[in-house]
Structure 1
Amino acid sequence: MRCEIRHVTEYRYPKAAWDSFNQVRLHPTQEARQSVRSFHLHVVPQAEVTSHKDYFGAIVHHVHVHEQHTQLRIEAQAMVDTHALPDPVPTPVAALRGARGPLTEFLVPCPRVPAGAWPEVFGVTRPEDRDDLGEYLQNLNSFLYSQFTYDTGATEVDTPLAEFAQHGRGVCQDFTHAMLGVTRQLGIPSRYVSGYLYSGGEMRGAEATHAWVECFVPDYGWLGLDPTNNCVAREKHIKIGHGREYSDVSPVRGTYYGGGRGSMSVAVYVYGES
């Protein structure tokens, strides 16, 4: 599937700001499930732009505006081809025992996915060693989808997982952190994925960057699962990058001098064709 993406972030300040510095993670990743045809970053006013790859391999752009300004516009444009991948072959949960060592960073607690008895909190049944891991993960994905309510006004970007667990209402970021809490406590290496979703009006979370989970399956690799939409991440999911939690892959964040209390708006447009 060919997808075109426009992601526009605008900052407005009541007074002049200067030395605005932003980290921008909007460049889709290049991997087996997708090919990046093009990527362009447009910044107004004129900015100094550099880039590097972060610890997890994502391309990060650094946008530095030296001059005074009351508005900053960062627009990313990308064209990506996504590819269908086969589902994993039956693999027992017990196969994870020899695969966890190198993936410890996707098992240990982190600030937004702290330690806790999350399987019990969310009423999840623990798997048996003989259970098929891929099937169990897809069933877990469906179960969590059924337990939570998608509500864009229920949480903020820094809402703790424990608060989401109490109310069960939130957005894709919350659904994803909840699934990470469960799978990591079950000993399944799992990572947070940031990206885009081509929904055609059918799926939730396409109005901005989207989030889902990748769980490790031995002899297969990373299986993408979207608990917000009760589906496997396939051609309609365009990946930007992954990390332990949202903070590792936040799309745009930065600092500036002056300006007063600014405001930010974000618009995301994803067009696709088979």
Structure 2
Amino acid sequence: MRITVDHRTTYRFSVPQGRVTQLLRLTPSGTDGQAVASWGIHVDCDARMRHGRDGFGNRTTMLYVDGPIHGIEIEVSGEVLTNGSDGVLHGSVEPLPPAVFLRSTPLTEAGGALAGFAADAVASVSDAVERMHVLNVAFHKHFTLDRGRPVSGRSAAEAFESKSATLRDFAQMFTAGARGLGVPARYVSGYSSACFIGDTPPAPHGWAEVFIEGLGWVAFDPCTGLSADDAYVRVAVALDSAGAAPVAGSRLGEGHEELDVDLHVGRDSAQD
């Protein structure tokens, strides 16, 4: 499948800022399942950019802008060719052993209710792969999709108390539930229009990967209840959503900021 991405993030500041420093996780890496045909990051002001990789193997760009800064627009555009693999990941950069992804963070603490839900969901299933499919479907059926902007700092345990879940909530709850079952799991950020139908525009997406002995990392999306397929562009992984956030950073200055995100994800299966 050929997937095109046009992603604009715009910040507007109430007073000019002296400096803006951003860590961008906006560039996908090539794997056996995705080939990056073209990709670029463009900024609407004079900026310095330094490219590298973080400790999880994600491609990163450090963005430095000197003030006075009234606003900044970051545009990402590119084309990725994908192929189906039943959610199994091959050819990715893996600097860390899977056991690292058994670690909890404040955002992925399961809490008693979520951990109990996960254990009950897979209690009658013994096969390792099937257990994760059952868990994925259980979260998908338990919550309705909240298409609004995620609540900053909301943990998996807090999200589990609600009747609806954002894309971020779904992925973090599944990650927490899998770790509670002793399965290494991690948060994945990227692009897909899988959960957005009709006139609702797609948003930056989040799903999860779990490590299964003898098979490797396998992608699951509790938003759909299915494994992530060739309609997904995988960009970054981390222990939680904060570690895989597309944009993170700081600014030097007073006042407040307004954030606007405009994203279009197109796909063409004719290239398969």
Question: Quick check: TM above 0.5?
Answer: yes
Shorter-chain TM-score range:
0.7 to 0.9
Aligned to 1:79: 79
- Does 1:133 pair with 2:153? no
Deviations 1:228-272 (A, max 9, x none): 111110001110011110111111122122252111111111111
Aligned to 1:240: 235
Deviations 1:89-142 (A, max 9, x none): xxxxxxxxxxxx9422111211211253433145733446x8222222112111
Aligned to 2:158: 163
Q: 1:27·1:78 contact (CA, 8 Å) conserved in 2?
A: no
- Give the superposition deviation at 1:87: 6.6
- Does 1:23 pair with 2:23? yes
Q: CA RMSD in A?
A: 2.4
Aligned to 1:224: 219
Which stretch of the first structure deviates more once superposed, 206-215 or 148-157?
148-157
- Does 1:66 pair with 2:62? no
- Within 1, Cα distance between the matches of 2:122 and 2:141? 17
Gaps of 5+ in 1: 89-100
- Does 1:150 pair with 2:145? yes
Gaps of 5+ in 2: 89-95
CA gap of 1:204–1:175, structure 2 versus 1, over 3 A, is farther
**Secondary structure of the residue that 1:219 maps to in structure 2?**
coil
Aligned to 1:271: 266
- Give the superposition deviation at 1:28: 1.2
Aligned to 1:119: 115
Residues paired across the two proteins, number: 261
Q: 1:38·1:78 contact (CA, 8 Å) conserved in 2?
A: yes
- Within 2, Cα distance between the matches of 1:4 and 1:252? 20
Amino acid at match of 2:257: G
- Within 1, Cα distance between the matches of 2:126 and 2:132? 10
Aligned to 1:103: 98
Aligned counterpart for 1:172 among listed residues 167, 186, 189: 167
Deviations 1:144-165 (A, max 9, x none): 1000121234850211222211
Q: 2:208·2:220 contact (CA, 8 Å) conserved in 1?
A: yes
- Within 1, Cα distance between the matches of 2:117 and 2:198? 27
Aligned to 1:254: 249
**Secondary structure of the residue that 2:36 maps to in structure 1?**
strand
Which stretch of the first structure deviates more once superposed, 140-149 or 152-161?
152-161
- Within 2, Cα distance between the matches of 1:223 and 1:248? 19
- Within 1, Cα distance between the matches of 2:131 and 2:201? 26
Aligned to 2:92: none
Deviations 1:216-237 (A, max 9, x none): 1222211111001111100011
- The two structures have a TM-score, normalised by structure 2, of 0.88
- Give the superposition deviation at 1:65: 0.8
Amino acid at match of 1:12: R
Aligned to 2:33: 33
Q: 1:204·1:229 contact (CA, 8 Å) conserved in 2?
A: no
- Give the superposition deviation at 1:201: 4.7
Amino acid at match of 1:207: P
Q: 1:53·1:59 contact (CA, 8 Å) conserved in 2?
A: yes
- Within 1, Cα distance between the matches of 2:216 and 2:185? 11
Deviations 1:45-95 (A, max 9, x none): 11011111001111111111113121101001121111111477xxxxxxx
- Within 2, Cα distance between the matches of 1:67 and 1:165? 42
- Within 2, Cα distance between the matches of 1:123 and 1:172? 22
- Does 1:43 pair with 2:43? yes
Aligned to 1:184: 179
